[in-house]
């Protein structure tokens, strides 16, 4: 297994660099990612709007920075997940992995209010 594949299989914390929806400038933040059924997702807790999400909706191309068990900058595209049944399926798979964090609101609140994107890598990393 490559270093990138190992990091994608085991890490949780990454940075992402998005393009500001208003400024057009690069914006880098630390965030968690999630793996579910061989796909990769980024979400946030329900509640207030997130700049990173608004940036990805406006400019879906971004950089996914691995920084724990491997260091790599992966070109990716965000696919906002807006369809309720898909949101429920994805968040239903992610929430059990979040422990106490997921207890902050019930699943229906997460489905209704959380930012959620699928990460589509421009060059698919080899992941077992």
Residue 123's pLDDT is 83
| Assigned domain for 112 exists | yes
Ramachandran class of 101: left when φ > 0, alpha when ψ lies in -120 to 50, beta otherwise? alpha
What is the domain-level CATH number for residue 17? 2.30.110.10
- Residue range(s) defining the domain that contains residue 47: 3-121
| Assigned domain for 128 exists | no
- How many domains does the structure of the chain reveal? 1
| Assigned domain for 127 exists | no
| Assigned domain for 107 exists | yes
- Measured in whole angstroms, how far is the alpha carbon of residue 112 from the centre of its chain? 17
Buried b (16+ CB within 10 A) or exposed e, 51-62: ebbebbeeebeb
| Assigned domain for 15 exists | yes
| Assigned domain for 70 exists | yes
Would you list the DSSP string of 67-112? Answer: -SSS-EEEEEEEEE---HHHHHHHHHHHGGGGGGGGGGS-HHHHHH
Is 29:14 a contact under the CB 8 Å cutoff? no
pLDDT (tens place) for every residue of the chain, 128 residues total: 689 999 999 999 999 999 999 999 999 999 999 999 999 999 998 988 899 999 999 999 999 999 999 999 999 999 999 999 999 999 999 998 887 766 666 888 899 999 999 999 998 665 54
| Assigned domain for 68 exists | yes
DSSP 38: T
| Assigned domain for 42 exists | yes
């Amino acid at each position: 297994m490559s270093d990138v594949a190992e990091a994608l299989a085991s890490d949780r914390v990454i940075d992402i660099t998005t393009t500001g929806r208003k400024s057009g400038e690069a914006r880098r933040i630390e965030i968690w990612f999630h793996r579910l059924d061989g796909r990769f997702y980024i979400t946030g807790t329900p509640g207030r709007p997130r700049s990173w999400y608004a940036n990805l909706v406006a400019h879906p191309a971004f950089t996914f920075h691995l920084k724990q068990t491997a260091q790599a900058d992966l070109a990716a595209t965000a696919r906002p997940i807006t369809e309720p049944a898909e949101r429920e399926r994805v968040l239903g798979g992610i929430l059990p992995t979040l422990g106490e964090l997921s207890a902050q609101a019930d699943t229906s609140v997460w489905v209704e209010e959380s930012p959620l994107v699928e990460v589509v890598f421009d060059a698919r990393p080899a992941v077992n």
